[in-house]
Amino acid sequence: MAPPLQPANSHLKATKAATTAATRAATRPGGTRAAARIDWRAKLRHFVQVVAFALAIAGIQYAFTPQRPLGPPMVYSLLIATITWAIIDLGRELFPSSAQTGWPPGLQGLGLVVTGIVVGYLAGTALAEALCVHVFRFYAAGAHTAALDVRSSLIISALAGIAGTYYFYTINQAAYLQRQTAQALHQASQARLKLLESQLEPHMLFNTLANLRALIGTDPPAAQRMLDRINDYLRATLAASRATEHPLRAEFERLRDYLELMQVRMGERLAFTLDLPEDLATHPVPALLLQPLVENAIKHGLEPKIQGGHISVSARREGASLVLVVHDTGVGPPPETSAAPDAAHDAGASTADAQAGVSDGSGGFGLAQVRERLATAYGEQGVRARRADELFQWGPAEGGGTRCRITIPLQP
């Protein structure tokens, strides 16, 4: 693995300037913008590697037939390799998906390689023939078209093209995976930071402590139970910083800690149910994925509603998918979530906070973050490619309230 990883690392270095999550997110969707970001230093490096590879092939050919001159195979090899390389390595930038994976998907990728090799061979051979005859004068026109030569050079071109493509494809894949991993780690730390912020959010913190203070006087055992919840909740957050994924069981336990804390505070205004089937309990999910959704349900759903309401979180199997649903019976999303500039007229949300949180269609920072984490973990890759709106749906629930639905592939 050492040689392919070497260029992969330099790849990462080359794109380092653009590796903040924000710029990556901003440049991801546009194919045209991605095409404008061709890394020419990487291309030059590829070209040098291709030339070296072509010279090596010519050298091997010469080694097998030392009675022939070295010149012609070198010219042929270099030209075929250069043209093939140019078509494949530069051509792939025309496909939008290359910006992310570095490679056109499926048949398009295959077509590109075949085109590259065929055109590279035909054009390279023709050009090399012309050069050998007219420029270098290795031999006279028509003297070098033996059937055996055609067949062997075709085979050599095809094999070399495939080998080269495979080599670069592997490098790209490694770089892509590394980028993906880095992004997933970044988002996970963002999620934990957000969680810590919400724990240390002064209203949450001081109100929780105020409740604890009240309970110490009136109901010491209940105060102890509440303190235990706080401990579990804080400890879990810190523990989650060591893993980007954890089993659904752990996810649901964290939600229970949080909801029980909130229940002490909100009293009868908060009821909740958590439904996790036993056979899904060990299924891995991105750590604390649902936390912001449940926080939103409380903050924007139940807290503004005088009589409070109910939150249900459930996991279930639907075919090959794992479906997670967070549903609340709160005030629901604002009636208008249009993109009109003055769309912030929400009669229900009295605070600007609530407006910033839910009325901008994307659903504010909490929801945007969930969307992004899902897209990184499950979106647009391999045979299980999912579009963002398939992974995450958010909107008004039947009979009032808000419903979030996450659909991710079940792992075998």
Partner 1 sequence: MTTGPLTPPASSPTALIAEDEPLLAQALAAELATAWPELRIVATVGDGLSAVQRALELRPQVLFFDIRMPGQDGLDAAAQLADEWPPELALPALVFVTAYDQYAIQAFERAAVDYLLKPVQTQRLVQTVQRVRQRLDAHPQAQSAVEPELMARLRALLASGHAATMSPGASGGAVAPLRSIQVSAQVNAQGSAGNTIRMIPVSEVLCFEAADKYVRVLTAQQEHLIRTPLKDLCAQLDPQQFWQIHRSVLVRADAIDTVSRDEAGRQWVALRGLAQRLPVSRLYAHLFRAM
Query: Which stretches of the chain bind partner 1, using CB under 8 A?
Result: 202-203, 205-207, 209-215, 217-218, 264-269, 303-306, 308, 336, 342, 344-347, 350-353, 355-357
Cα distance between residue 313 and residue 294, in whole Å: 8
Cα distance between residue 359 and residue 246, in whole Å: 31
Q: Is the dihedral of CA 144, 146, 151, 156 positive or negative?
A: negative
**How large is the greatest C-alpha to C-alpha distance in the chain, in angstroms?**
107
Q: By C-beta, is 16 or 203 nearer to partner 1?
A: 203
Q: By C-beta, is 17 or 306 nearer to partner 1?
A: 306
User: Cβ distance 377 to 371 under 8 Å?
Assistant: no
Closest CA to 322 of 406, 245, 244, 384: 406
Q: By C-beta, is 268 or 389 nearer to partner 1?
A: 268
Cα distance between residue 334 and residue 338, in whole Å: 10
Q: By C-beta, is 140 or 306 nearer to partner 1?
A: 306
Specify whether the backbone of 267 is left (phi greater than 0), alpha (psi in -120 to 50) or beta.
left
Q: By C-beta, is 167 or 365 nearer to partner 1?
A: 365
Shortest Å, Cβ 238 to partner 1: 23
Shortest Å, Cβ 356 to partner 1: 5
Radius of gyration of the chain (CA): 30
Shortest Å, Cβ 25 to partner 1: 19
Helix (H) / strand (E) containing 135: none
Shortest Å, Cβ 376 to partner 1: 26
Q: By C-beta, is 322 or 349 nearer to partner 1?
A: 349
Q: By C-beta, is 298 or 408 nearer to partner 1?
A: 298
Shortest Å, Cβ 349 to partner 1: 9
Which regions of 211-362 does DSSP assign to beta strands (E)? 245-247, 270-275, 284-286, 309-318, 321-328
Q: By C-beta, is 89 or 303 nearer to partner 1?
A: 303
Shortest Å, Cβ 195 to partner 1: 17
Residue 347: other Cβ atoms inside 10 A: 8
In the structure encoding, which two tokens stand for residue 332, read together?
Answer: 């629901």
User: Per residue in 17-37, is it b (16+ CB within 10 Å) or e — as a string?
Assistant: eeeeeeebeeeeeeeeebeee
Query: Which residues are bridge partners to 245 per DSSP?
Result: 286
- State residue 246 phi and psi, 5-degree precision: -150, 165
Q: What's the CA angle centered on 330, arms 327 and 334, to 5 degrees?
A: 100
β-strand pairing of 270-275 with 309-318: parallel
Shortest Å, Cβ 335 to partner 1: 9
Shortest Å, Cβ 411 to partner 1: 37
Shortest Å, Cβ 208 to partner 1: 9
The one-character DSSP state at 88 is I
- Cα 284 versus chain centre, distance: 17
Q: By C-beta, is 319 or 341 nearer to partner 1?
A: 341
